[in-house]
A = this chain, B = another copy of it.
Amino acid sequence: MVTPPSGGNLDLQNEMLPLGEYIFLRVLQANPNMKTILGIPGDFNLNLMEHMYASSVALKARFVGLCNELNAAYTACGYARRMSAMSVLITTYGVGELSALNGIAGAFAEYSPVLHIVGTTRIVQKQAAESITDPLQVWNIHHLVQNKNPLKSSDHQVYEKLVEPFSVAQESLIWDGEENASGVNLDKIDRVLVKIIQESRPGYLFIPADIPDTKVPKSRLSVPLDVAELKDEISKNTLQSLVSRILNKLCLAREPSVLVDALVSRFGYAQELSSFILTLPAYYVKLFSTNCGRFSDETLVNFVGTYAGGMSPTKEIKTLLEDETDFLLHLGKFNVEVNYKSDFSRIRDVVVVHPDYIYIDGEYIYTKDFTTDSRIFSIGDFLKELTTQTDVLGFIHHAPHVGNINYKYNPKLFHDPKTLKVNGVVTQKYLVDFFNSYLQPNDVLVCDTCTFQFALADLKIPKGVQFVSQSFFGSIGYALPATLGVSLAEKDLGAKRRVILVEGDGSAQMTVQEWSSYLRNDIQPPKIFLLNNSGYTVERLIEGPTRSYNDIQSTWQWTEILKIFGDAECKKHTSAKLSTIKEFDDYFIKQNHMNSPNDKIEFLELVLGKLDAPERFEAMVNFRTLC
């Protein structure tokens, strides 16, 4: 007769912990750098939130409450973007999750891995609703919209049904069997976490209010989260053979170019991309980025510029890509409007690498199986294989232009800085030049969907600068809370990068209360550039320049806001209002603020003209690519 092993091991093996605590610990495994749990309390998530205070969780992460749920979703998106890893957001049933929805949709559109945990009605309430046959027993629970037939119970899943288009995985926890440990299917949690990481997009966990105390086995935490996609020999062979075909094309090309797009870094593979780029011989592979996919080292000698079709900053960039390229490798294609329509018709051979497919020799090869919803390999796997094979191969024997290594592309910027006035009011054209001096290596620049966003392509950025914006989804108000997320992440990573926010006044009014959270939390204090141009200038330039619908309440005392949010004595922030180039010079040069210390939030209100915009934006409106 075999007796079970006794003592500590068995106890450990059988040790149970509450599901709520388990969820937080599992989430922290999915992003080991995460030290912040974001959210807003509501009576349906309080039972879950209580488990954040278990010492096992509390030692690793703190709770950061936001002012409202949309802001919280934006913050979570910014946190994930800065970390290139999953963030977590907790909201409550109905009122909370619906308020956050637009932020989640934005995270989906922009490939930001946010886990949205929603506290929902109790399982017993859901079951009771389903079993009601007598209309007299129908009784509507707060936060839940009624059935349109008032004699029937409402649908407790009504909100869960909305989120499929905006998320890559959705699971609702229930007691699958008995109301005990074995009854909760913990695989569901893993499935959501793994999909979020693999797809770099939001996922949902719906947690009924009566389930967080259910006990589950602690040992389940020692099962690793399996996020690897490249799992079998057949897949490896497929990958190797595809990479080999692509490299062969690259080697045989006389004028090869690489176009770096957003869906490399958004999937967290900026490092793998850099390794590949550095493996290439700079003297004959030209390098381009896109508006949404700025490359992290644009100081490389072979970096040409930001390609944006007919909206490229200079004609030279367009020509070098479209007419002086015979082979193009487009990495991480992000086919969105603000990247502008490309014209590759005159390029002999184009290969496109997307996380879900590779386009080669006129054929689309899916690297994701949409039936089983799984990928054969990730774009990271692809880049690693590409680097390995390139390294082994070497280019020197094939390079047709040996000796050109000192050539450095330096196309002119969209506007000519020399035409700028050195006095007068500050304009956005001036700001482009200013930021070209102001930006430093490794800065994180968060920019709202404002006029200045359209100037970003004209910035020659130092090495390692990270851009965070919603250039595609374009929900104004995003950047202010997203910067909070970035600054929290910066702190959690123990990094010391400068965080810079550029925000229009119309955008800032959308989410202004979250500046209060900048003061409330321990963050990397950002530099804030508030563009005060008295309304929605982006829209004024499209339609109705003087219409009342483009006006806002333009009498705000912006530089006082952080004071009344709790820093009256300016212990945590400084502020200044700058209207003229002279004031700019005084502040930045004479008072030496080009590189102020990062110990306080630096709030700068820049007063701009109502219709002032970067040249590129004006050109874009003429280009009529927007609706």
Interface residues of A (CB under 8 A from B): 39, 41-44, 46-47, 49-50, 52-53, 62-63, 65, 67-68, 70, 94-95, 98-99, 101-102, 105-106, 108-109, 121-122, 125, 135, 138-146, 148-151, 155, 158, 162, 165-166, 168, 209, 335-338, 341, 354, 356-357, 359, 364, 370, 472-477, 509-513, 516-517, 519-520, 536, 538-539, 542-544, 547-553, 555-557, 560-561, 563-568, 626-627
Contacts and interface: CB of A to CB of B under 8 A. Distances in A.
30 contacts: A41-B536, A46-B544, A47-B543, A49-B543, A53-B547, A65-B548, A65-B549, A67-B510, A95-B473, A99-B475, A101-B102, A108-B145, A109-B146, A121-B627, A135-B364, A138-B335, A140-B336, A140-B337, A141-B337, A142-B337, A142-B473, A143-B473, A146-B336, A148-B370, A150-B335, A509-B516, A553-B566, A556-B564, A557-B564, A560-B564
Given A41-B549, A99-B102, 11 more contacts: A46-B544, A53-B547, A62-B548, A67-B553, A68-B510, A142-B626, A148-B370, A162-B162, A557-B563, A557-B566, A557-B568
A139 B336 contact: yes
A207 to B, nearest CB: 12
A46 B509 contact: no
Contacts of A158: 165
A81 to B, nearest CB: 17
A563 B561 CA distance: 10
Contact of A556 (B354, B538, B566): B566
A552 to B, nearest CB: 7
Given A516-B509, A536-B41, A556-B516, A49 B549 contact: yes
A42 B539 contact: yes
A608 B510 CA distance: 29
A519 to B, nearest CB: 7
Contacts of A70: 68, 70, 99
Contacts of A472: 140, 142
A562 to B, nearest CB: 10
Contact of A565 (B166, B553, B567, B627): B553
Contacts of A337: 139-142
B357 A151 contact: yes
B145 A165 contact: yes
A94 B473 contact: yes
Nearest to A510: B68
A126 B99 CA distance: 27
Contacts of A52: 549
Contacts of A567: 555
A95 B474 contact: yes
A429 to B, nearest CB: 23
Contact of A98 (B101, B148, B544): B101
B544 A68 contact: no
Contacts of A106: 95
Contacts of A65: 548-549, 551-552
Tell me which of A335, A354, A477, A561 has the highest count of chain B C-beta atoms within 10 A of its own C-beta: A335
By Cβ-Cβ distance, the 5 closest A-B pairs, closest first, are: A555-B566, A98-B102, A46-B543, A95-B475, A68-B510
A521 to B, nearest CB: 9
A44 B627 contact: yes
B549 A555 contact: no
A103 to B, nearest CB: 9
A356 B62 CA distance: 49
A50 B509 contact: no
A63 B336 CA distance: 33
A335 B141 CA distance: 9
Nearest to A352: B136
B556 A477 contact: no
A512 B67 CA distance: 10
Nearest to A120: B627
A199 to B, nearest CB: 9
A43 B542 contact: yes
A63 B557 contact: no
B476 A95 contact: yes
A477 B155 contact: no
A239 to B, nearest CB: 19
A99 B472 CA distance: 17
A63 B356 contact: no
A552 B64 CA distance: 10
